[in-house]
């Protein structure tokens, strides 16, 4: 299961625990702090202990039921009540118990299901006719027993699923049932049985009710790949006002992980619409989004979305990301390097001020030779060597040495590209002179000298003046070929 936003996952587990425990405010808060995994383990332990009590007695009683007719057993169930009947059914042969269940009313069956051991009753549910299941479902929906319906939806047969979907007209109810399902494989199976028109209606029920948004996001996040894309596209088709409400809910309830995972698999034609929503101009929202992408390891999937942003949005993103500090900045650069998205980093870099560029130049990853080479080659390829020259002059000595060493490979093609860019770059010649001023090796100086001699007289003069200021010229002049 994907990592779900803790607040929502804990909320679900607490609702399930509340079936067995009375929770005051102090206990509730203590359980919240315990975390979802511990709550799930506690609930399963309580269920096991609760239903194991008196099990031998009920097993003994169940062994006598074979001597009674189905009609007599149905009467016995009404006589002993739903709670006792639930325990008895749980110990009976599922095939035999299903025959008895067919004699019971939908109302009483719902009461039995609510009291039964979930581990035992599922086998009985699978054997019940689809029409009876749908009648029970309608009754339980009227009583808002969605938690119960979600837990037992895991056990429904394909005919029963189709019957329930066709019978239940309330799309929000179906969405809520899906939200409470525990078996995500079964959830995907259920979604596959619903046609596109009804599925769109169910997802829209979540978009039309702010209280259902988290449930819609949960369902989208927990279905399998192609279904996630299918549901995500339906979500993305909503109008701007509706999608802005989604952003608000994701921000307030910390649902960015599921939202970003859904966005990463939807049709790219929706990207521009979504990432340019008015709600994403909010710096606090963007800060939350960036931090979620980093903490949930979703940066590689998130970065392509930035390409679809308008220029002013990209500028906000660039500043927002770097305001989070060096750890976030390092994660962004690492994600761009691993996914080959240097074009995006170079695009965002144009919006940064001196302090922000200095911080990037100080990052440990910025001095990784493979990162420097990828940055240099992409800057040359994209015609953004002016940006690289600006960053290069901010590197410490070891970083500059790496820059020069890489620029001299392949006959110095990269160095030539930077010399060409220096003509039209503010302080470009000074940046190149600063970079090559760290070179002491005679063979590297000779290579630089050969490239220098290939330049036109005006460029040679401009470089010579800059090199004089850094103290490089005296060493370089000696290395020039006669």
Mind listing the pLDDT tens digit for each residue in 344-359? 888 998 898 889 899 9
Rounded mean pLDDT of 75-100?
A: 87
- pLDDT above 60: residue 212: yes
In this prediction, residue 284 has a pLDDT band, given cuts at 50, 70 and 90, of confident
User: Residue 278 CB: number of other CB atoms within 10 A?
Assistant: 11
What are the E-state strand segments in 52-118? none
Q: What is the pLDDT of residues 425-437, one digit of tens each?
A: 777 888 888 888 8
Q: Is residue 448 part of a domain?
A: yes
- pLDDT above 80: residue 149: yes
pLDDT-wise least confident of 94-108, 216-230, 346-360, 382-396: 382-396
In the predicted model, what is the mean pLDDT of the chain? Answer: 85
pLDDT at position 264, please?
Answer: 87
Distance, in Å, from the CA atom of 174 to the CA atom of 9, rounded to the nearest integer, reads: 19
Contacts of 2 (CB under 8 A, 6+ apart): 221, 222, 257, 258, 261
Rounded mean pLDDT of 198-206?
A: 84
Q: What is the pLDDT of residues 290-346, one digit of tens each?
A: 888 888 888 888 888 888 999 988 888 888 888 888 888 899 999 999 988 899 888
- Cβ proximity of 8 and 255 under 8 Å: yes
Residue 352 has which token pair?
A: 């940064």
pLDDT at position 255, please?
Answer: 87
Rounded mean pLDDT of 10-25?
A: 79
> Smallest Cα–Cα separation from 286: which of 316, 242, 306?
316
Distance, in Å, from the CA atom of 212 to the CA atom of 322, rounded to the nearest integer, reads: 34
User: Residue 109 CB: number of other CB atoms within 10 A?
Assistant: 26
Residue 403 has which token pair?
A: 């820059």
Q: Is residue 435 part of a domain?
A: yes
Q: Is residue 430 part of a domain?
A: yes
Q: What is the pLDDT of residues 351-395, one digit of tens each?
A: 988 898 999 888 899 889 999 899 888 988 888 888 888 887 788
- pLDDT above 70: residue 1: no
Rounded mean pLDDT of 38-64?
A: 79
pLDDT at position 481, please?
Answer: 62
- Residue ranges making up the domain that contains 413: 368-482
Q: Is residue 41 part of a domain?
A: no
Distance, in Å, from the CA atom of 314 to the CA atom of 347, rounded to the nearest integer, reads: 9
pLDDT > 90: percent of the chain = 13
What are the E-state strand segments in 192-269? none
- pLDDT above 70: residue 482: no
Q: Is residue 429 part of a domain?
A: yes
Q: Is residue 421 part of a domain?
A: yes
- Cβ proximity of 165 and 134 under 8 Å: no
What sign for the dihedral angle of Cα 426, 387, 383, 433? positive
Distance, in Å, from the CA atom of 265 to the CA atom of 214, rounded to the nearest integer, reads: 19
Q: Is residue 2 part of a domain?
A: no
Distance, in Å, from the CA atom of 111 to the CA atom of 134, rounded to the nearest integer, reads: 15
Per DSSP, the residues of 154-196 read TT--HHHHHHHHHH---HHHHHHHHHT-S-HHHHHHHHHTS-H
> Smallest Cα–Cα separation from 175: which of 207, 140, 143?
207
Q: Is residue 393 part of a domain?
A: yes
Number of domains in the chain: 1
pTM: 0.75
């Amino acid at each position: 299961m994907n990592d779900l936003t803790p607040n929502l996952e804990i909320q679900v587990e607490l609702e399930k625990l509340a079936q067995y425990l009375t929770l005051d405010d102090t206990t509730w808060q203590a359980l919240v702090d315990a975390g979802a995994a511990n709550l799930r383990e506690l609930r399963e332990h309580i269920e096991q202990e609760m239903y194991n009590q008196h099990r031998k007695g009920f097993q003994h009683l169940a062994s006598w039921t074979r001597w009674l007719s189905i009609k007599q057993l149905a009467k016995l169930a009404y006589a002993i009540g739903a709670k006792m009947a639930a325990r008895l059914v749980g110990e009976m042969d599922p095939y035999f118990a299903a025959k008895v269940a067919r004699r019971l009313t939908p109302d009483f069956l719902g009461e039995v299901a609510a009291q039964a051991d979930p581990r035992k009753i599922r086998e009985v549910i699978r054997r019940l006719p689809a029409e009876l299941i749908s009648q029970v479902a309608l009754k339980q929906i009227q009583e808002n027993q969605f938690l119960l319906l979600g837990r037992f939806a895991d056990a429904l047969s394909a005919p029963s699923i189709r019957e329930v979907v066709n019978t239940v007209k309330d799309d929000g109810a179906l969405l809520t049932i899906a939200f409470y399902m525990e078996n995500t494989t079964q959830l995907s199976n259920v979604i596959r049985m619903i046609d596109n028109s009804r599925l769109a209606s169910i997802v829209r029920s979540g978009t039309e009710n702010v209280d259902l948004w988290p449930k819609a996001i949960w369902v989208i996040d927990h279905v399998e790949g192609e279904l996630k894309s299918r549901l995500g596209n339906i979500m993305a088709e909503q109008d701007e006002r509706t999608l802005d409400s989604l952003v608000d809910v994701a921000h307030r309830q910390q649902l960015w992980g599921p939202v970003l995972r859904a966005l990463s698999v939807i049709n790219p034609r929706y990207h521009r619409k979504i990432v340019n929503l008015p709600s994403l101009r909010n710096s606090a929202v963007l800060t939350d989004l960036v931090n979620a992408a980093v903490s949930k390891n979703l940066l590689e999937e998130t970065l392509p979305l930035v390409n679809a942003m308008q220029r002013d949005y990209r500028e906000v993103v660039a500043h927002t990301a770097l305001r989070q500090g060096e750890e976030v900045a390092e994660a962004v650069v690492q994600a761009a390097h691993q996914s080959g998205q240097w074009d995006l980093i170079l695009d965002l870099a144009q919006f940064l001020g001196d302090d922000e560029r200095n911080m990037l130049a100080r990052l440990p990853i910025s001095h990784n030779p493979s990162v420097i080479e990828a940055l240099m080659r992409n800057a040359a390829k994209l015609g953004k060597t002016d940006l690289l020259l600006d960053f290069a002059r901010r590197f410490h000595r070891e970083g500059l040495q790496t820059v020069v060493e890489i620029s001299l490979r392949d006959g110095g093609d990269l160095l030539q590209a930077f010399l060409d860019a220096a003509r039209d770059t503010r302080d470009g010649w000074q940046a190149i002179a600063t970079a090559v001023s760290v070179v002491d090796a005679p063979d590297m100086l000779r290579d630089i000298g050969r490239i220098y001699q290939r330049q036109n007289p005006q460029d040679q003069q401009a470089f010579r003046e800059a090199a004089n200021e850094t103290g490089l010229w005296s060493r370089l002049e000696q290395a020039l070929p006669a």
